[in-house]
Amino acid sequence: MICLIAAYLSLLFLKKNSWELHLTADEGEDFIVQITLADDSEEEMIEIAHFLEKHCVKA
């Protein structure tokens, strides 16, 4: 449940700052699973940040 809240808040943050996350359904599912299973490490956070940079576009 916390993962879903975090994902929603991330999307809200992006929207409030005029960004959109463009993913296919499969990419979105894989991303949520990755976040759910990820260790709480700097390396994982950097990997997630790179993923977001790659898939976000200015609205």
Total structural domains in the chain?
1
Provide the pLDDT confidence category of residue 26 given band limits of 50, 70 and 90: very high
Would you say the pTM of this structure is higher than 0.75?
no
Can you state the angle between helices 42-55 and 25-37, rounded to 10 degrees?
170
**Residue 54's domain spans which residues?**
2-58
Q: What is the pLDDT of residues 3-18, one digit of tens each?
A: 677 778 888 999 999 9
**Contact assessment for residue 20 and residue 59, using Cβ atoms and an 8 Å cutoff:** yes
Tell me, what's the pLDDT at 8? 83
Provide the pLDDT confidence category of residue 1 given band limits of 50, 70 and 90: low
Could you tell me the sign of the dihedral formed by the alpha carbons of 30, 34, 35, 37, in that order?
Answer: positive
- The CA distances from residue 48 to 10, 11, 21, 57, in Å, are 12, 14, 13, 16
C-alpha 35/C-alpha 52 separation (Å) is: 12
pLDDT greater than 70 at residue 44: yes
